[in-house]
Amino acid sequence: MKYSSLCLVLLLVGCKSGPPSQSGFLKDYSMLEQVGKRPHAWVWEKPGVDMRIYDRLMFDPVEVELLEGSQAGELGKETLGKVADAFRRIMTETIDPYYSVVNKRGPYVLRVRLAVTDVAPAQEAGKGGPNVRMGQATMEGEFLDAVSGEQLAAFTEKISGSAAGKGKAPPEWRHVEGAFQEWANALLDYMDRKHAGVE
């Protein structure tokens, strides 16, 4: 199956400086490498890790860890909680038809931790005016071995002006859900590539 590749087609090299915006969700940003074709994507994968052994995924509840200076806090905890829940729902609904999604840790389970670190719904100018913002979302995440807790990969990316999602979200949130869908598709593509032995 073919899906658009995003930041989760990970590189096996690290670097000495992490992404410019860091929420603190990840313990270490210094090993993240910028992806050339996606200027707002930074990724890392543990060298030599065999991701083919992981045939089940466990998604932690998505956290909200806002970047310093983010105005998303003005949206309120209830709204941000719904945004986080939508992110997890889209992830699980996209992955579950192809890989088992489980709720318990165990051997060969890939634990996925994600955080929404910034989000902004779409806004329009006055009546008849052009869109001034199509919505954006920023996330951080990591893959862990569900038994040992060892970090296997880490990533962060900001997506602005994504294609609108196809869910039932209010219009101003459809571009945000579109970003979530891009990340879900990227995770599915990543798993498919790893199981096919394609780097």
pLDDT tens, 7-54? 444 333 333 456 777 999 999 999 999 877 777 899 999 999 999 999
Q: The tokens 């997890």 sit on which residue? A: 88
| Residue 20 confidence (pLDDT) | 72
| Residue 164 confidence (pLDDT) | 66
Query: Is residue 146's pLDDT more than 90?
Result: yes
- Report the predicted TM-score, pTM, of the whole model to 2 decimal places: 0.84
| Residue 17 confidence (pLDDT) | 52
Classify residue 59 as exposed, middle or buried by CB count within 10 Å of its CB (0-12, 13-18, 19+): buried
Residue 112's φ and ψ, nearest 5 degrees, are -115, 115
Q: Is 31 helix (H, G, I), strand (E, B) or coil?
A: coil
Nearest Cα to Cα of residue 18 among 26, 10, 7? 26
Q: For the beta carbon of residue 138, count every other beta carbon within 10 angstroms.
A: 24
Convert the pLDDT of each residue in 112-138 to its tens digit: 999 999 999 987 544 444 444 668 999
Q: Which two tokens stand for residue 142?
A: 């990591």
116, β-bridge pairs: 64, 139
Classify residue 123 as exposed, middle or buried by CB count within 10 Å of its CB (0-12, 13-18, 19+): exposed
Question: Which run of H or E residues covers position 163?
Answer: none
Please name the CATH architecture into which domain 51-149+159-195 falls: 3-Layer(aba) Sandwich (3.40)
pLDDT, mean over the chain: 85
Domain positions in the chain are: 51-149+159-195
Q: Which two tokens stand for residue 162?
A: 């994504």
Question: Which run of H or E residues covers position 117?
Answer: strand 109-120
